[in-house]
């Protein structure tokens, strides 16, 4: 497996994990009204958005290699 393929797979899995944890945080907030769960959701939404932006730049750069 090349480094390029590994990077694409790793970024994709990190985005999927961020989405999963954000959804879990929302469900936890609805169930228990825990503000820390809502904070966790916010952190992972921002992190997931940053990963999507990074993926766009990285995939464009990796296409040229």
Is there a contact between 51 and 18 (Cβ–Cβ < 8 Å)? yes
* pLDDT confidence band for 55 (50 / 70 / 90): very high
Q: Would you state the pLDDT for residue 62?
A: 82
Q: Where are the domains of the chain?
A: 3-64
* pLDDT confidence band for 4 (50 / 70 / 90): confident
In this structure, what is the dihedral angle of CA atoms 23, 24, 26, 27, given to the nearest 10 degrees?
A: 120
**pLDDT reading at 64 higher than 80:** no
- The model's pTM: 0.84
Per-residue model confidence as pLDDT tens digits over 8-51: 899 999 999 999 999 999 999 999 998 999 999 999 999 999 99
């Amino acid at each position: 497996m090349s480094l390029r393929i590994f990077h694409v797979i790793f970024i994709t899995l990190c985005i999927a994990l961020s989405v999963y944890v954000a959804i879990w945080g929302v469900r936890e907030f609805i169930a228990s009204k825990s503000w820390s769960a809502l904070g966790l959701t916010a952190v992972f939404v921002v992190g997931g958005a940053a990963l999507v932006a990074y993926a766009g730049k990285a995939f464009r750069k990796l296409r040229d290699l």
